[in-house]
């Protein structure tokens, strides 16, 4: 009986991990289908890339106001409501008649995303047994990584063989099944209190938390300046076949699991050293991307290191958000983190589009790497000193 109860305690985390899988698959699916969508809708790749930018900007703008509005809602009901919106919006994407109707349906998905990523990590931490925070966050990251390994490439394969619309419809069907699973296994969890806009100044006086947000926007801008156009880059600059591009995307996504494992194994031993490595590492990888197209092995090596460390960066700063935000504002802190990170995604996709349109697609790695250098400098000169002062104050209070 005890084993059964123990196993059932982990089922909500399983449901959340599956939900993370489909949300991440959907978010990045246009990256793998960018060329197909552009061809089918008779638009440029840069304009198709705006699907990524606008999606991210909606998440950036709506995460905080939607989460504050929903902050008093019972969490299981809230989770089911946003998954339902997610399903309906994907059906709309599959049936979209043109570019603007597709954009509108993606905005619907982005609104669901806005709340989901505000509550996913805090819910994961609350539903697992005590002392398993790192494992819960790693599970969420694993769902993201599996999406990159299986979801994004699978969406690309479906798009290549039966059309990009069926890729979106597949997400709708899978999401509906996850809705039923969560309905059955997830416990009712009351919100930890309503949060008001007037409390934001107090939250933003936390220098470490503000530093988390600045790091997230800088890193996301750097990463997605390059990653948003990785599919056409591999095809045009590296001269890879569509099948080989799919393979590289699978490897890139799979490397995220290595980042998740590295986080759970090494992060707690020396958080600052770990954070420095996963900030500087992707920067160097992007700088080396063009040179790495000299051979398949070089390209794979760069993508594996880049993907692993980018995932580890995301988990580490989610942990910092949960750790340094007040207990009654954890979801709000995560909503700001998600919104700011997605501002970076949208900005990165936009900057990458400018590089592609006005210079050449071969320079996207250098553009992303240059922004990554700025993020690394901020980390060393501002974030770490503030983090040390906060930790010293916590020790003194004890």
- The predicted-structure confidence for 2-38, as pLDDT tens digits, reads as follows 444 466 777 888 888 888 888 888 877 777 777 788 8
Q: What pLDDT, on the 0 to 100 scale, is given for residue 5? A: 47
Q: What pLDDT, on the 0 to 100 scale, is given for residue 3? A: 47
Closest by CA position to 98, among listed 188, 37, 57, 36: 37
Q: What pLDDT, on the 0 to 100 scale, is given for residue 173? A: 92
CA atoms within 13 A on the CB side of 235: 13
Taking the complete model, does pTM exceed 0.75, yes or no?
no
pLDDT 10s digits, 219-239: 999 999 998 888 888 888 877
Q: What pLDDT, on the 0 to 100 scale, is given for residue 2? A: 45
What whole-number distance in Å separates Cα of residue 50 and Cα of residue 99? 10
User: 178 to each of 171, 235, 254, 297, how far by Cα in Å?
Assistant: 10, 34, 22, 38
Q: What pLDDT, on the 0 to 100 scale, is given for residue 251? A: 82
What residues have CB less than 8 Å from 288, skipping those under 6 apart?
Answer: 302, 365
Low-confidence ranges of the chain (pLDDT < 50): 1-5
Q: What pLDDT, on the 0 to 100 scale, is given for residue 150? A: 67
Q: What pLDDT, on the 0 to 100 scale, is given for residue 30? A: 76
Structural domains of the chain, with CATH: 2-397 (1.20.1250.20)
Q: What pLDDT, on the 0 to 100 scale, is given for residue 1? A: 41
Tell the burial category of 2 from Cβ atoms under 10 Å away from its Cβ (0-12, 13-18, 19+): exposed
Structure tokens at 323: 């750790």
Closest by CA position to 16, among listed 261, 223, 198, 185: 185
Q: What pLDDT, on the 0 to 100 scale, is given for residue 66? A: 83
Q: What pLDDT, on the 0 to 100 scale, is given for residue 377? A: 96
Q: What pLDDT, on the 0 to 100 scale, is given for residue 4? A: 47
Q: What pLDDT, on the 0 to 100 scale, is given for residue 328? A: 65
Structure tokens at 17: 């991990």
């Amino acid at each position: 009986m005890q084993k059964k109860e123990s196993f059932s305690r982990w089922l909500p985390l399983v449901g959340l991990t599956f939900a993370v899988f489909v949300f991440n698959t959907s978010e990045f699916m246009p990256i793998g289908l960018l060329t197909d969508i552009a061809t089918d809708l008779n638009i440029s790749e840069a304009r198709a890339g705006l699907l990524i930018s606008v999606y991210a900007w909606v998440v950036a703008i709506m995460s905080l106001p939607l989460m504050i509005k929903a902050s008093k809602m019972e969490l299981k009901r809230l989770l089911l409501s946003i998954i339902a919106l997610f399903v309906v919006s994907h059906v709309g994407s599959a049936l979209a008649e043109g570019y603007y109707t597709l954009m509108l349906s993606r905005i619907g998905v982005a609104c669901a995303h806005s709340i989901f990523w505000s509550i996913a990590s805090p819910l994961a931490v609350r539903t697992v047994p005590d002392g398993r925070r790192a494992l819960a966050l790693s599970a969420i990251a694993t769902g993201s990584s599996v999406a990159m390994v299986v979801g994004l490439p699978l969406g690309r394969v479906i798009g290549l063989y039966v059309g990009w619309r069926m890729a979106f419809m597949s997400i709708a069907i899978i999401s509906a099944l996850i809705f039923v699973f969560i309905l059955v296994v997830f416990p009712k969890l009351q919100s930890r209190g309503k949060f008001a806009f007037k409390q934001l100044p107090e939250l933003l006086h936390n220098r470490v938390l503000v530093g988390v947000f600045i790091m997230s926007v800088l890193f996301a801008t750097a990463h997605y300046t390059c990653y948003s156009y990785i599919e056409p880059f591999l095809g045009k600059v590296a001269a890879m076949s569509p099948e080989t591009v799919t393979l590289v995307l699978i490897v890139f996504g799979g490397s995220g699991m290595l980042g998740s494992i590295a986080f759970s194994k090494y992060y707690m031993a020396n958080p600052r050293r770990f954070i420095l490595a996963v900030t500087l590492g992707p920067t160097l990888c992007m700088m080396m991307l063009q040179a790495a197209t000299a051979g398949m092995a070089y390209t794979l090596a760069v993508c594996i290191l880049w993907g692993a460390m980018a995932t580890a960066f995301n988990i580490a700063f989610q942990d910092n958000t949960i750790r340094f935000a007040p207990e009654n504002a954890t979801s709000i802190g995560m909503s700001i983190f998600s919104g700011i990170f997605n501002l970076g995604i949208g900005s990165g996709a936009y900057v990458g589009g400018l590089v592609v349109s006005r210079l050449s697609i071969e320079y996207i790695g250098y553009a992303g790497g240059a922004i990554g250098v700025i993020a690394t400098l901020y980390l060393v000169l501002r974030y770490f000193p503030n983090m040390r002062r906060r930790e010293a104050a916590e020790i003194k209070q004890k």
